[in-house]
Homo-oligomer: A and B are copies of this chain.
């Protein structure tokens, strides 16, 4: 059983290994890979140790071999059919995102409730009515669905997805959705990320103000001491 925190980092390692392989590097140390992935080398080694013992002491890791092992563990060696619901600005961007196809994710359908969009072809895939979800999902054995609709529709879309046999949902809508046990949901929320940054930014500003005030206080105190 691999810890959740480790699972979340494995794709990062995979990407770093691909970059190293593209650069013609065939072997790397945990230190090299950790730097490329932006983590601590001890954490990297511990993470990899959950998968097995794929390195060689005194040498390091074979880039291609480790890459294959991680890809197999994550499951990106297989083909994952995906449906995207909600073809607005974000849906367009997702449909055109090349990072999906290159990692084994195949967009089998784009769905939208708005009939105006049913003429469109995005990234080579025609936009179809939302009502076709179940038929398409069953036909292609789709396990993963992406929600890129407005918040108001998200729960309804999620319900339909679950009814269509989808068991993993990536939710871009700014809404909390509830699903039955056994269905995984991951949430990506653009404005929440910005708000987290704003909090830290504000704290930096306060910190500066406080330090400045302390400096002034110290200066005044020093003057007082002198007088």
> Of the 9-residue stretches A24-32, A54-62, A112-120, A190-198, which lies at the interface with chain B?
A190-198
Q: Does A194 lie within 8 Å of B100, measured CB to CB?
A: yes
- Complex: how many Å from CA A200 to CA B167? 10
Q: Looking at the complex, which one of B11, B16, B176, B198 makes contact with A76 (CB distance below 8 Å)? A: B198
User: Could you say which residues of chain B place their CB within 8 Å of the CB of A8?
Assistant: 192, 196
Q: Does A195 lie within 8 Å of B144, measured CB to CB?
A: no
Contact (A11, B190) CB under 8 Å given A176-B36, A184-B201: no
Binding site for B on A (CB under 8 A): 7-8, 10-12, 14-16, 36-38, 73-76, 78, 80, 82, 88-90, 92-94, 96-97, 99-100, 103-105, 143-144, 167-170, 174, 176, 178, 182, 184, 186, 188-202, 204
Contacts A7-B196, A82-B194, A97-B191 known; 17 new A-B pairs at CB < 8 A: A8-B196, A11-B192, A11-B196, A15-B192, A38-B176, A38-B178, A74-B199, A76-B195, A76-B198, A80-B194, A93-B93, A99-B174, A100-B194, A168-B201, A170-B193, A182-B204, A184-B200
- Complex: how many Å from CA A192 to CA B90? 17
Q: List 27 A-B contacts (CB under 8 A).
A: A7-B196, A7-B199, A10-B195, A10-B199, A11-B189, A11-B191, A14-B195, A38-B178, A74-B195, A75-B195, A76-B195, A80-B201, A92-B92, A92-B93, A99-B191, A100-B190, A100-B191, A104-B198, A105-B194, A167-B201, A167-B204, A168-B201, A184-B197, A184-B200, A186-B197, A188-B188, A188-B193
